[in-house]
Every structure is written in C-alpha cells, then in structure tokens.
Chain A
Amino acid sequence: MTTEHTRIRSLDDPHIFVDTPATIYDAVPPYPPTTEREAEFYSLQDGEMLINLGPQHPSTHGVLRVVLKIDGERVVDLDPVLGYLHRGVEKICENGDWHHAISNCDPLEYIASMFSEAIPVLVAEKLLDLEVPRRADYIRVLAWELNRISSHALFIGWLALDLGGLTPILYGFIERDEIVEMLAALTGQKLLFNYLRIGGVNGDLNHEFLSRLGDWMGRAGQRIEMQQKLINENEIFVRRTRNLGTVDRETALRMCLTGPPLRATGIPYDVRRAHPYSVYPELDFEIPTRTEGDSWARYMLHIDEIKQSLHIIDQVLHQIPDGPIMAKLPRLLRVPPGRAWIAFESPRGQYGAYGISDGSDQPFRLRIHDPSYFNLQTVGLVTPGHLIADTMAIMSSLDPIMGGIDK
C-alpha cells in the first residue's frame, strides 16, 4: 500500500526514501541484516511471503508492528517490531523530580493508569522507609481493583473483537466508562488520573464517588455477564480459542511470563500474595488459576479475577478506617540515596520498578518493568504453525498495551 513507485518513505525514518518498491512491499527493512535472527527471518524459503501488520492495523492494539512470514494462510514465523510509541519516559523521569515522575509514568498503562502511576510513588516510599496512612492504602487498593475490573472488561471485549464479534467490546466499554467516570469523580481526571502521591493519595473519598460506586456495585459486572452470555456458550468463540497458543509451565517460566498468562498455566504467582504490599495481607481473596494455558484459559481467568476484585472492593468498603490520607513530607522531597525494587500486580501481570536515588530531589535511575512487554514476546514462540486469524486471537489473549510496552 503506497502511493509512490520509485521512491518510498522508509518505515522508520520519514527522511529516508527507499528506492526499490520491493523492499517496502515485502516489509523488509531497508538495511542489511545485523543479527543472525534477522538474517534468518528475512530470508524467504520457497512459497513463503512476508506480510506486514501495522504499525497501523485494526487488531494490533496500538502501534505494534508485526511482520508475519506466511505460507499460504499458515504463519511460519513472525517478528514483532516495537518502538513506535517509545516516548523515553525513563529518561524524562531522570530529568524531572519525583513528583513529575508520577505524571510521566501515568500514560504508560493507559487502560489501567492507576497502576503505572504507582511506580515512582512506591519506589520513593520504599526508599524513604515511609509509613503510608492506612486509609490512604485502602483507598489505593480500592482504586486499583476498580481499575483492574475496567481493564479486564476491555480485555474480554477486545478478544471478541479480534475474533470478529462487534458487540462485546461495546458492552465492555460501557462498564469501563462507568468505572472511569467514577474514578474521575474521585481524582478529577478522566483517563490519566494523577491520583497517587508519595506518602498517600491526592484527595479523600468524596460523596459523588461513593454514590456512583454504590450505584454501580448494585449491578456490578452485569454487563460483563451479558458479554459472557454472548461469548461463553458461543460455539464459534470456543472453537477458536481452545488449544490456541498453549504455553506449559516450564515455557511460561522461561519466557518470564507473569499475570494471567502465567496463572493460566497453573502457577499461582500473584505479587499480591507472593510479596504482599499495601494492605493486601489484610484482605481475603483467592488467586484463580487454570491449567490449560491456552487463550480460552486466559479468557476465563480474567472473568474469575473480575469476581475476586469485586470481592476485594466489598471488603475494602467495609474495613476502610478513618484517618489522614497523606503522610507528613517536606515540600521539596529529597529521597535518601539507595536502591529499591518494588513489584505489584497490574491487570497484565507483575509491574516492577527499580529506582536508584543519589540523595537529590530527582531519581538517578527509574527502571520501569512492564509485564506486557515480557508477555508479548511469547507470541513469537507460540504462534508459528497457526493461521493468520489465530495470530490476532493469541496476541489479544496476551493483552498487550503498547503504551507500557514501548514506554
């Protein structure tokens, strides 16, 4: 798909023009291969052809680009090309102070940004050895679990959308919009709520949020059940997700999978239990696991987690104590030197952050570990041998979010 025959703009650089149309039509990069893997991938056997998905494609969520090497309809090999949304967040965080880092990490996970904005907060608190007021902790857990539900609702819809169903994504969006509006009433911002603060949260629970929450809890998950009615007993959906992209325990560990893809293989690894943080030790919930490890298991796991999150929200609303929501901190925050590693469970898996401070008001290094970045590379492992249509099903069942992957 191009408008020029002789000179075509390179995919990577708008200044570069590649002179042979074949290079663009075959999605071959306009430079000689630099690694073994690249040379092996971009050399075609007989009957194979390369097809270029993205960076703008309906079913690569965001600007992921995947080069498929196909033989007929069957995928022989594939090569994901990232970086189309690389915004250099880590570098920017080093150049702003710790408070700036909150708003810079916010858009990473733009479906569940309540999690990504917790990165600098938790790191700084760990470096400061800071005790967060318990009410603030409870409010955080409340916001996190609400956001987890909205993210999972979107996941279900997207999986169905990539399988060709039009409707479930809209039901998921209804649920998501309700929750996000609810959180907007709490935080004041719709999608990227800058709510968490070092030492607490930005504002206390207000009446509008609580009334919306109570209204929603009454029929919580109703539309998600509508989605399931559309999907669960649907023969086509089940046949298209069963035994698709199956990962076993050993492979999952070797591929550094976390979150639902790991739990779908039967390993009950959830940071909320493996390394309890915040007030999760005081709450009662289970870690749902499955053993099949295929797309269907991942989908069902998300539904179970939605139920667990509803359970957690119920407990939080009953146990939340009174008290302050911010710890006493100096205005110009100088974090003592040291290294800290924190991890917490985001909807897509273990969100980690590794912070180094040199005693100034700015982080010396803030490493952001995004789970879907490590989950996504499993696609290259499990997809070959499936059909083109299955590539979408596997990718969306791993639930990649390009904002977090590309940072």
Chain B
Amino acid sequence: MEVNETTVVMETAEAGADVAVAPASSVVSPIIVPSTGWSAADPAAYNGGRPPTITHLAQLELEPKGDNGRWGALDVIPTKADYLLDYLRANSLWPLLSGLACCAMEMMSAATSVNDMDRFNMFPFRASPRQADVLIVAGTLTTKMAGPLIRLWEQMPEPKWCVAMGDCTCSGGRYKRSYATVEGIDRVMPVDVYIPGCPPRPEGLIYGMLKLQQLIVGRRGQWADRRVGPTVPAGV
C-alpha cells in the first residue's frame, strides 16, 4: 500500500513539475478553450454537454412542448383548473432543508421568528427532496458539491423551482476566480429566481420567494417552456 501510494504521488509531483515550466509563449497569447458549459441552453448541460441519461426530468424534456405531465389527473380533464393548481402551488412552497454556506444562515433566519416565512406558507422545510417544491441554493457551490446538488435537484418531483440565493450562486461572487468553485449554479441547473447579495437579507429572500409565487401563478400552462440548463448567454 505504501509503495502504491508513493507511485501515485510521484506521478502527480512530476505533473506539477512539468507545469512549473509554463511556456513563455502563453504569456503573449493565452489560448482560451471553448467551454461547452457556456453555450448549452438545453438539457445537454445537465451533465456537462452530453445528452442526459434517462431521468424523469430528461424524459419530460423529450416530451413535445406544451402538454407535459405536471397536471397529473387533469391531463385527461382539460379545464381551467390550471389557475387553481397554480394558486395552490404558489401558496404552498415547501423548501428543501439544504444550505451550502453562509447564506444558509440567512435562509434559516428567514424561517425563524423575527421574519417568518411561514406566514406565506413557505414552510415546513422538508428534509427529503422527494417532498420538496423549491430548492433554495444558499451559498457557494463548489465543483465537489455540484454532483450531489444536481442529484438533489433530480430527486425532487415536478413541479419544482430553484432559487439562487447569494452572489456566489448567481455569478460566483467573491470566489469567482477560485480553482474549486462553480461560477453560478446556472451552469449546472435551471434557476427561476436570482437573489443577489452577499448574503441577501432575510427580507430579500422572502421578497424573492414572493416573486417566485408571482412567477408560478403567471406561468400557468407554459411549463415546458422553461429552459433546462444554463441561462447564461455565451460570452458573458
């Protein structure tokens, strides 16, 4: 085991040594690699540019636009019940009890006594993604956490919404240039509401959630039009 380990580290050390002599040519004209993470405004962005393996969300994407399965029984009873359902959904948003970093503190503070999210029926925080409606991504998303976060998102049943809370989740924020962070979660998952601020105040979060309610009520019927994947235009 010790020997094996040694070999591994020798490898990596050599790699590091090679990089140590970065060619001076790169100083003059750095070569920018075109990234598939930017341009993809389609389900392909889910796993970094490849067409998604079958999840229930990917299957929704395969559906013809317009009528997808979010109305459940009402697929066979086409009525104006969409209005009612949107009203219900907008008024019972169960957030997923998941915080990544600093903003999670403000998220909890928004749910506690001083400013009470429960007034708007944005409670209770569900611990299991199967029962959650809205994923509040609060805090810096690192590349190591990206996989679990995407899986959480895929485990949530439709209809579901995503709220990006804080600068780090909107754009990378103060850790934009780190080697281990994702510059905005919209590279890896769809986002409905962006709440800037480092961190945003609890009132800001509640305002964003109220905006999300308006979004839900206003977007009746056109569910399938939501773009899955990065919403950042190329070249930003």
Interface residues of A (CB under 8 A from B): 1-4, 6-7, 9-17, 34-36, 39, 55-58, 62-63, 83-89, 91-92, 95, 103-104, 107, 110-111, 113, 169-171, 173-174, 176-177, 190-192, 402-403
Contact = CB atoms under 8 A, between A and B. Distances in A.
Contact of A55 (B47, B148, B154, B180): B148
A110 B100 CA distance: 11
B87 to A, nearest CB: 29
A56 B53 CA distance: 23
B47 A87 contact: no
B198 interface: yes
Contacts of B15: none
B95 interface: no
Interface in B143-179: 143-152, 154-155, 174-175, 177-179
A190 B201 contact: yes
B142 A13 contact: no
Nearest to B104: A62
B201 A88 contact: no
Given A35-B5, A170-B113, A173-B108, A9 B144 contact: no
Contacts of A55: 145, 148
Contacts of B4: 34
Interface string B1-43: 1001100100000000000000000000000000000000000
A355 to B, nearest CB: 20
A110 B148 contact: no
Instruction: Pick the most buried of A4, A89, A92, A190: most chain B CB atoms within 10 A of its CB.
Output: A190
Nearest to A54: B148
Contact of A13 (B53, B127, B139, B147): B147
B147 to A, nearest CB: 4
A86 B148 CA distance: 15
B181 interface: yes
B102 A63 contact: no
Contacts of B174: 103-104, 107
A2 B129 CA distance: 11
Contacts of A62: 99-101, 104
A202 to B, nearest CB: 16
Nearest to A5: B54
Contacts of A87: 140, 142, 175, 178, 180-181
B148 A92 contact: no
A73 B109 CA distance: 33
A173 B151 contact: no
Interface residues of B, number: 53
B102 A36 contact: no
Q: Is the contact region of chain A dominated by helix, strand, or loop, or is it mixed?
A: loop
Given A35-B5, A177-B114, A110 B147 contact: no
Most chain B beta-carbon neighbours within 10 Å: one of A13, A17, A56: A56
Nearest to B178: A88
Contact of B112 (A3, A36, A170, A403): A170
B147 A107 contact: no
A39 B147 contact: no
Given A2-B151, A177-B114, A107 B180 contact: no
B148 A3 contact: no
Contact of B180 (A86, A177, A402): A86
B36 to A, nearest CB: 11
Contact of A58 (B127, B154, B155): B127
Identify the 5 closest CB pairs spanning chains A and B, nearest first: A110-B102, A173-B112, A14-B147, A88-B178, A84-B145
Given A85-B101, A191-B102, A192-B198, A56 B178 contact: no
Contacts of B188: 14
B213 interface: no
A202 B140 CA distance: 26
A107 B166 CA distance: 12
21 contacts: A2-B155, A3-B56, A7-B53, A12-B144, A13-B144, A14-B146, A34-B4, A56-B96, A56-B98, A62-B99, A62-B100, A85-B100, A85-B101, A85-B139, A88-B175, A88-B181, A92-B178, A107-B174, A110-B105, A174-B113, A177-B114
A16 B152 CA distance: 16
A56 to B, nearest CB: 4
A9 B101 contact: no
A323 to B, nearest CB: 32
Contacts of B198: 192
Contact of B148 (A7, A84, A113, A403): A84
A308 B55 CA distance: 55
A83 B144 contact: yes
Contacts of B139: 85
B194 to A, nearest CB: 19
Given A83-B142, A84-B142, A169-B112, 6 more contacts: A2-B151, A13-B144, A57-B127, A62-B104, A107-B102, A190-B106
